[in-house]
Amino acid sequence: MSGTATAAGDTVPGPKGGPRTAASGDGARAPRGPRPGRTALFLLAPGALALLFTYAMPLVWVVRMALNEPLDGGAIRQTLTFGTFTQVLRDGHYWKVIGQTLQLGVLVTVFTLLLAYPVALFLARTTSRWRSLLMALAVAPLLISSVARTFGWMAILGNQGLINKTLQALALTDGPLPLANNMTGVVIASVEIYMPFAILAMISGFGRLEPELERAAASLGANRLAVLRRVVLPLTLPGVLTAALLVFVLSLSGYVTPRLIGGGRVFVLATEIYDEAITSLNWPVAAVLSVLLLVLFGIVIVLYQRAQRALERRFTGEKGASR
């Protein structure tokens, strides 16, 4: 029994929220209180109802829609068939769209991680008194309308935009560089739009990074590059992994940037879903594409969890990974 032990361990697992009625043992007249199960039900019901109608039911409905058959002119035949799935999967156009979606996702993820990492590392380590301001600047774009930010990128990347105007004024190029209405522009704008997400996710995952560790490595004779490669990078990997998942998933399903910067020439799953549903009024195909996107999400998340578990094992040294 050491003098520093606290009584924290003294509290026994039990209801957190005040007294609960005791088992009806004789003589024990307990202070009355509502049963936690019933109270929980009462408190959870409004939120559960809201999510049932605005989230769970729509998802069931869209999966059901994918099993219908589209007819000409936006009509739908109520049936239960995988016909629409096979129709979509046999069509080379949709495979091209899926390929472009994945290409965009990979490119955006790689560049976002490369650019976000130095900022996140700096914010996690700095002791500057400007830290909170720099932090706010780095993540504030999150709360700014993505339409507004995409518009900003149109003003930068367009043929009459900042970059091309400058290059032409300096007589460095003859014609405008093709920075908008193509994949390049979509990637550039998407990277900027997802950077705050990546920075946040990275900083949250940098918990294992302690300045002492870097100093210890340096004191053991590691030069700066070796410290970065052997100490900082492995310790920050979990944060990078989370950021990668987040950015990849977001860019797989992004709609506004591909539509505006892509100028109708970049086809990804999101734009295709919208066009099928709203322009072609082909809901079953749009629903099939949605289900495919969800499946893609599922695969990515499973892969992420595998990678996370592998990382976890490296830190804990346990064979059977936790969670």
Find residue 34's DSSP bridge partners.
none
Coil, helix or strand at residue 60: helix
Task: Name which of residues 108 to 147 contact another protein (CB under 8 A).
Answer: 115, 118-119, 122, 125, 132, 134-147
For residues 85 and 9, give the distance between their C-alpha atoms in angstroms, rounded to a whole number.
57
The correct pick among 71, 75, 89, 155 for binding another protein (CB under 8 A) is: 155
Stretch of 85-93, 95-103, 171-179, 208-216 contacting another protein, by CB under 8 A: 208-216
Instruction: Give the strand pairing for 76-77 and 69-70.
Output: antiparallel
Q: In whole angstroms, how far apart are CA 59 and each of 34, 148, 183, 290?
A: 35, 29, 30, 10
The correct pick among 70, 105, 161, 185 for binding another protein (CB under 8 A) is: 161
Regarding 175 and contact with another protein (CB under 8 A), the answer is: no
Coil, helix or strand at residue 76: strand
Q: Helix-strand-coil percent breakdown of the chain, rounded to 5?
A: 70, 0, 30
The correct pick among 190, 282, 290, 308 for binding another protein (CB under 8 A) is: 290
CB of 125 to another protein, least distance (A): 8
Angle ∠(158,246,94) on CA atoms, nearest 5: 65
Task: Name which of residues 20 to 59 contact another protein (CB under 8 A).
Answer: 20-23, 25-34, 36-37, 39-40, 42-44, 46-51, 53-55, 57-59
CB of 317 to another protein, least distance (A): 26
Stretch of 82-90, 92-100, 150-158, 304-312 contacting another protein, by CB under 8 A: 150-158
Cβ-based nearer residue to another protein, 104 or 249: 249
CB of 89 to another protein, least distance (A): 18
Convert residues 58-77 into a mask of x (bound to another protein by CB under 8 A) and - (unbound). xx-xx--x------------
The correct pick among 107, 108, 203, 240 for binding another protein (CB under 8 A) is: 203
CB of 302 to another protein, least distance (A): 13
What single letter denotes the amino acid at residue 280? S
Coil, helix or strand at residue 77: strand
DSSP category for residue 182: S
Judge residue 105's burial from the number of C-beta atoms within 10 Å of its C-beta, 0-12 exposed, 13-18 middle, 19 or more buried: buried
Regarding 176 and contact with another protein (CB under 8 A), the answer is: no
Regarding 281 and contact with another protein (CB under 8 A), the answer is: no
DSSP category for residue 180: S
Cβ-based nearer residue to another protein, 98 or 286: 286
The correct pick among 67, 244, 246, 266 for binding another protein (CB under 8 A) is: 246
Regarding 88 and contact with another protein (CB under 8 A), the answer is: no
CB of 172 to another protein, least distance (A): 16
Task: Name which of residues 294 to 323 contact another protein (CB under 8 A).
Answer: 294, 297, 301
For residue 159, the number of C-alpha atoms closer than 13 Å in the C-beta half-sphere is: 7
The correct pick among 88, 98, 273, 282 for binding another protein (CB under 8 A) is: 273
Calculate the CA 6 to chain-centre distance.
Answer: 40
Stretch of 101-109, 171-179, 270-278, 314-322 contacting another protein, by CB under 8 A: 270-278
Q: Which residues of 61-87 are buried (b: 16+ CB within 10 A; e: fewer)?
A: ebeebbbbebeeeeeeeeeeeebbbeb
Coil, helix or strand at residue 18: coil
Stretch of 170-178, 290-298, 304-312, 314-322 contacting another protein, by CB under 8 A: 290-298
Q: Which long-range contacts (CB under 8 A, 24 or more apart) does 52-58 make?
A: none
Cβ-based nearer residue to another protein, 183 or 286: 286
